[in-house]
Structure formats: structure tokens, C-alpha cells
Structure 1
């Protein structure tokens, strides 16, 4: 989990360097590589009203995922698009991800970023066979970063690492904290920080799907090392065996946060309900309450996001919905919804009872949906949640002139106040 390569150079971050995502490009003998790094403001010295939370834990957990559907035909698309040329499926000796298995068939439960991570490179295609961009994680989150620059919205970034280490202090004072497309993996410390921020009057903008889903822990002596136990159920790449449900690093019970008494609905009002291939659908506006007109200011369409670079639609791949049994009883408004009308999605295992019944008690088609929601907390905080992994992929469409871009602009303006 640590290649222990020698350091060839160091780069000292200037005090006045703006917070953001940067790329270090290195060249040697006709070859080059490009490695991202994240510049955060000094603790307690924010430089903007908006904070982007970068999902570095999720990036690491997925690091070097050798996908089971990888095919040589992907290489043709990669070459034609001049995308990042290397794939973990071709170079397994660099270490695989927690979505892969050891040679004895057991699941890989530890991950670290102290190695080459192919899928953390600019231009990496997660889905080489998709008819759309095929971008996920770091690359998909660049849609949001590009949108912020296009809209001239100032922002700082904070990564999961700072949030885990510094707690709510890392994001205190920001008027809004916005996530990327897939903030799936969290420690108890990061969830505590986000809930503390929200409950102290902060604004949380969740722009993904399948977020806040799995519990992970950090090694107490090496914070770069993460552990995941895929206990009980959930949509998972492998299943922990009996006796392996507890994390070795701290003895805590692993698995879904839902099974640990902290479902995503308690934080953002919605939680993971369905998954499909890398395809997307539009949302349909369902809220016409005049108190919520600010969300749709300048938008005359009922269909939202029937376009996009990720799955061709703003609601896709992994979807979240509201479940009143799991939230904290907040007055949650469903703004828009997207239903799986073509039966291209499956219900997640924790929602299924039999092949005919599910926990909702209603038709399966009714719960395979994305809910876009807004609510205020009892303590003055507010939350907007998109409920879809492909939402951010619609932001740059038509050079950012589209209804998803307008909607998010309205949300940011409401939360930040300008």
C-alpha cells in the first residue's frame, strides 16, 4: 500500500496561491505524466464563501479499479479521444482497488494513495464502452469545477482528509459547502463534521448520488491507509465473510452507514435506491409551491436535464430518493423527480425483500427514481440535494447555457447570498 518511491522534488505552496485543484505535469525521455494535487486554504482562513468538498476518500477507495467489463475495444476510443492511455486492467502490478479481489478470491479491504493511481489522472475514462463521456469521480467532478469558473463563482476546496482531521473547523464559516458527483465513502469524523456544520446554520449542497453510503476508517498511525468492510448487504463488489464485519484498524462495525444507524437520509434527506448502466434521464419538475420559485427562476421547462455529457441525462447511473422512515422528520420538499420508465435500473439489495416485494410496500417502479429535494433544518441550516451521479455532467452542456446550470446557479445564489 506504499510503493516507498524516493521523492525526486518538492514543491512549496506559496502563501498567496489560490485554493483549487492543480495538475503537476512531468516529462522525461519523451514520456509525460500529469498528477493532480489539491490546495486548501490555511485552517480557519477561508478566502471565499463557497467551499467545494473534494471526495479524496472515495477517489482512493476506487483507486486502480480494474473493471470486470474492460475490453480491448476501449483502447480504440481512448486513442481516438486522446484520453489517458493506461488502465488498471492492463497493469495490475500497480495494485488494485477495494472493488477487486486478491488472488485467493477474497475482497481487497485496504487502500492507499501512496502509489500510482491511474484513474486519478486527467482524461481517464472509467467507462470506455459508454456512448457518452465515460467520466467518473475526479474527472466527472471537473464538470462542477469548470462550471464554477464559467459562472465566475469564487470557491475554496477542502478534501475529505482535512474534514476528517480538523472536523467541523475545516468548513466553519462557509456559507455553503458543495459536494461533487459521488461522495460515497465517509468516516464517522467526516459525517460528524458535515452534520455539525449543517446544524449550526450551514448550507449543504449535495450534487451526487449514492453518497454517504459506506463506512470507512483510517489507520490510527498512517492516515493515508483506509479500510472498508463490505458487511451484511448493500450494492457491493464483494461480500465480507462471517467474522470479518469489524474493522481491524479501530474495531468498529463496518458496512453501510445505514446499518450503523446513520442513513444518508438523516444528513441530506435522500439515500441510494437504484443503479443502472451509465445512462441518464431527465428530471420532471413536480413542485410549484411559490415559496420554492427561486429554485426555478429563469427556467420555463418542466423537463430538466434531458441532456448531458454523463449518460445523456442529469438523473442517471446511481439514484437517491426520499424515504420518510429514514430521515430526521424535516419538512422536505421534493422539487423534481426522475423515474426509471424503461426499466433500465435495479433496486439496491437493502431495499429488496423478494423478487416481488420491497421495503416501501409499493411497486418497485415507484422507488427506482431520483428525488431532487430542498429542506431547512430545525436549527437554521439548509440542504439542496440532486440525488444523481450524472447531475454535474449536464452543467457544461451547450456551453453552460441550460436549465440545469441555471438551477444550480439559483441554488448557489440562495445559499451564498450573492
Structure 2
């Protein structure tokens, strides 16, 4: 595996005073490293702007030197019993399962194993049964992406292998005498991998259903893999329970699925399969090297723990929230950590090593996920077998969640997204001396609207795309109770995700039916395993973004921006445009070189935009190279808006009031915040936002 010389991660992304964050570090060379803490003001390395700006935070964490060590990590999902199973040499034993293989990797792939006894596929996809190094192998490989029932019977000195391709009436058997030694076995059972001592190898790629081990007098161990789908274990029908490692994908269609039911909760027998992958990894499980217990007087904000050694360095961002139930500012900045994690380690197909020149010149973050696939890729990538990655976790190094990470390394702007792009807003708040508290998705999901109560205004950052029902409910309830909600991005509130009940670091996304997506979920697999809810776009679950913030995703283009054109000249809103010199404004910025770009949101009253919204401004760029999002497109000639496509592809800047005294201000563009720092924070986009916030905060 290719590894950076020094890297790490935190066990949590946010904490309050009195809570503890654990830092886990690995060095390929050992020795020692130095840990020091800073407060992050700007994470954009572009030297034409502020550059990366941080403040010393040693008052809350004294710099220290610590011993370095190498900590390994182990990709690959499998099941394992914690209790051993005993197989007597004199007993007739049969291993069986129904499988759908999806990828041959040039190595053995174990399906069912107990000690030295293994049933699996060889490098050519041929079924084998082995006892230690002795094996019997079928001549004909199993068909890929087809359900096949496999079994191996051992009785006295005879061995029988059989494979039956379901639906094709195709059965092959192979029978031999004296091929395998018979030995007494007492060992754990492993599913989808082979366990030899402490080493787990030979991971299976594909679906497995109904694994069983039977003896002379019946079942010794058997599992219904449709049982306890939301959990991390499978209770046994007979024998010991299976514990799942590295979170293989559950709620998968099995061999019985006939399309008569699309939800696993309604017909679980049709969802008796688990999909295992050799590259599943979601928690590295590293030991803790040091901790930070948050001091009572530590300000809420964005912080970065630096680790530095002679051979390398890394930075681990995290967030400090105010004490529970206490506000320290009138403004709350909502950090979209769920979105950061879902995108975590996104290996973009357009990454090019030539970007390293700019990265070195700017002092940008040097590592890119495309160069480190073993660290687990994002839900915008696919597994080695081509299936979509639908789980995400922060308990591993996330290379694109770092100060100075360049998402687009060949653009004429900064080329930032997510964490570093959101620092444009943070740096603006510092430049304007506007106090703020930080709340992340974690607190919003767990505590609901109460965590926002009392804030005069709550603002998103550039791209709050992924949400649970709990986070959407909290924002709606805050808004309806009189809160002022600012949506300063684009393509927000778009995908529905689920959070695992047993592991709050683990998120699930099913990319069902519609939307701009990197892969498509298979039919019958649109419902989340974690909570049983229908996955995909929130719009498809009856909660379009327009119902919350008045606008929703409409179009996507390349990473470039355009100005806004003011369209509201009602004197009642002149206060908002005070100091904005021209009706055409925002044709500059560190994100796409313009305030209205890349991903654009527009008004649609049919799906929730309020009738009383005020259209303040609209993007003025030539969007002919943008694509209308799939959920808006009907045919090559028609779309849901009923207007020509070019008229539908724009960003709408709007505001509206609610009966409870609350309000919404939404800008409709991912690149809006990238314009705030332009010209030393002295520009029309900056003035417009400052005008709005000052009124809502009473400043």
C-alpha cells in the first residue's frame, strides 16, 4: 500500500467544552512528531488572496513532541464469529452458500471458511474446497453476476463439489477420493474472507446468501442474512452469531428477489444477501496517540491540529462548539460535516499529477485521494467490482478535508470545494469582526432545533448537500419559530442520507432513480439499510429544497462563475443594495472567478417556493454549457419548468418572510462565498451580505 509519511485522523469532528477529541497518527518511518494547534481563519492557499491564515492556539493545547509509530489498516469486509465452531474429522461436513460473484482479482476469494477448511473461488473464478494447502477445484468457472448455489461435501475420504446456476438449470459436480486430509477443527467461522491466525485474507467480491455448515445430524451453523439488517451483526439460525467487519452493504437483493417488492422491510426474504468488497474500509481502528479535552474558555471556531516530523506533516481539522445550551454569539455558522464525509477521499477522474506544480508553488496540501485508493474512496467513487460506494466515515484520514486542498488544480481560480472553500466565509466573518458560533451536522442531527434556539441568524456555507430527516426538521423548525436562515451556497438539501444507529461516524447514501450522481443504485436497492427509509433525492421524498429555502438545484456546469444581475428595484429593498454600485455585480471571485457559478439553484413554486418570495437578483452568465439536472429534464425538447432550457439554468438570489417572524435569504450558487474575500473583502458581494447580516443581527 502507498502511504503518506505522516498522517492522522480524529475520532470526532466536533466537540464542546469538557469533551475530548482523540487524535490517531501513523508514521511510516517512526521517530517522533510535533503536535501543535491553530485556529483556522482561511484555508485557501491561493497567494493572490489572503493565503492560508491561522492563529496560534497554544493557549488551549501546548505544543508537544510525541513518539511516532506505524499503524496499519486493513481494507476488506467480512463476517466473523466470536465463538468457535467444532468440526470433527469423522463427521460428514457440508459447506454451502448461494453467491453472486462480481469481480475476479487474480487471487483466491474465500466464501466460507472455518480454520483450514475453505470454500471459495480461485483466481479464474473456479469453485474450490481446500484443507490447508490441499484442494479440489472445479474445471468450469462460475458465471459472473449470476446467482449460483455452491456446496462442498466431505464424507470419509470423499469430497464432492457442486455448483448450480439458478434459473439456468445448470448444475456441475466434481467428485474425488483421497484429495483432502480430514482433521478435527475448532475455529471461528469467517464469511467472505479467510482467517489464518490473526491475518484476514482472500476477500470475496460479491453477494452472499444463506451460508451454512451442516454435519451428520443437521445444521451446525447457519445464518439468514436478511435478519437484523440495520445492525452490525447477523444472529444465527444455528450456531454462533456473525459479526460484520468494515461494514459490507446490507439490504441487498438476493436470489429470490423478483421485483414484486422494492422495500426490504416489506419482504425481507427477498433481501437475504450481503454485498462484500475487498476495498471496504470505514474505521481504521488506530490507537490514540494524544487527546485534547476542550477547555471551558476555548472559543467556538474552526481548529487545525498540525503534526510535523522531519519526513512529513499533516493537518487534522475539527470544530469547537459552544457549551450545550449556551450561545456566545448572535450568529451560528452551520458546518456541513455530513457532506464533507460523504465526499471524503473523492478521487476525481480529472485529477492529474501535473497539479503538483501549483500545489508546491502555493504550499497547498500535497496529497490527493486519487493517489491513495487503499485509504477508502468516497461515495462518488465505485468499488473494485464497479458497484457504488454507499458508506462513508470520518474515522480514517480524509485527504480532501484539509487546509489548502485543491479540488481543481488546473483552474484560473483557487479551485476549492468543501472545507477550504467554506473558509472564504469564515475569513470574511473575521475580517468584518462579526462574532459567530459553530454548530455542525452532528449536533443538529442529535439535538434538533433546540441547538439553534436563540440565534438571531443561522447561515450555511457553500454546499450543504447531504441531510438526514432530523437535520432538515431542525432547520425548518428554527426558521418557522422566528429564526433568520441564510443559505449561502448551491445544490443544498439535495440527497437523503441515513446515520448508523450503532456507529454515529457512519453514513449511508443510496443514489436512487434520479439526480446528478456518480453511480446508480440497482433496482430494488433504493431503501437505506440503516433506517429503512427511501433513499435518493429529498425531492423524491416530498421535501424539495424549495420547501425549506425557496430555491433548489437546477443546473451544473464547469467550475466557473458569472455575475448577478439585480432585478429587484423596489425601494423597500434598497437597504440591501446600499453600496452596491452597479446592477451587474459579482464578476470576480476565488471560486470560479464569479459569484454565480458551477452549481445553480432556482425558484420553483410547484415544489415549494413560497409565493411571497422576492427575486433580488439572477445569474447573468451564458449558461449554454451548463446541463439541466436530470430531475428537471423531461425529454430532449421539454423540461419541468415549461420554459426553454436556457431560461431554466440560472441562479436565483431571493428572500422571503414567514408568518412566525422568521426569514430566508438564499443566493443559489456554490461560488457565492468565493467572492467575499475579493479585493481585501471590499466588493459588492461583501457589502450585500454585510447589509443583510447587520440588519438581521441588529448591528
Corresponding residue for 2:579? 298
Corresponding residue for 1:336? 617
Write the mapping of 1:196-215 to structure 2, written as runs, cut at 5 A.
Answer: 196-215=477-496
Q: Aligned-pair distance for 1:340? A: 4.3
- TM-score after normalising by structure 2: 0.59
CA distance in 2, matches of 1:340, 1:367: 12
Task: List alignment gaps of at least 5 residues for structure 1.
Answer: none
Match of 1:392 among 673, 689, 694: 673
Larger radius of gyration: 2
Match of 1:313 among 589, 594, 598: 594
Whether the aligned pair in 2 keeps the contact of 1:330 and 1:378 (CA below 8 Å) is no
Match of 1:7 among 281, 288, 305: 288
Match of 2:638 among 339, 357, 376: 357
Whether the aligned pair in 1 keeps the contact of 2:511 and 2:521 (CA below 8 Å) is yes
Q: Deviations over 1:181-220 (max 9, x none)?
A: 0000000000000000000000000000000000001001
CA distance in 2, matches of 1:211, 1:398: 27
CA distance in 2, matches of 1:132, 1:83: 14
1:240 equivalent to 2:527? Answer: no
Corresponding residue for 1:222? 503
Q: Which has the higher helix share?
A: 1
Whether the aligned pair in 1 keeps the contact of 2:494 and 2:545 (CA below 8 Å) is yes
Whether the aligned pair in 1 keeps the contact of 2:355 and 2:410 (CA below 8 Å) is yes
Q: Which has the higher strand share?
A: 2
Q: Aligned-pair distance for 1:342? A: 4.8
Match of 1:279 among 535, 560, 563: 560
CA distance in 2, matches of 1:345, 1:230: 22
Partner SS for 1:325: helix
1:104 equivalent to 2:396? Answer: no
Whether the aligned pair in 2 keeps the contact of 1:330 and 1:377 (CA below 8 Å) is no
Q: Deviations over 1:291-326 (max 9, x none)?
A: 111210122211121100100000001000001111
CA distance in 2, matches of 1:216, 1:177: 22
1:182 equivalent to 2:460? Answer: no
Task: List alignment gaps of at least 5 residues for structure 2.
Answer: 1-281
CA distance in 2, matches of 1:56, 1:322: 26
Q: Deviations over 1:198-244 (max 9, x none)?
A: 00000000000000000001001111000000001001111011011
- TM-score after normalising by structure 1: 0.99
Q: Aligned-pair distance for 1:29? A: 3.3
Stretches (4+) displaced over 6 A = none
Query: How many residues are treated as equivalent by the alignment?
Result: 418
Whether the aligned pair in 2 keeps the contact of 1:339 and 1:366 (CA below 8 Å) is no
Q: Aligned-pair distance for 1:376? A: 0.3
CA distance in 1, matches of 2:649, 2:371: 35
1:70 equivalent to 2:351? Answer: yes
CA RMSD of aligned residues (A): 0.9
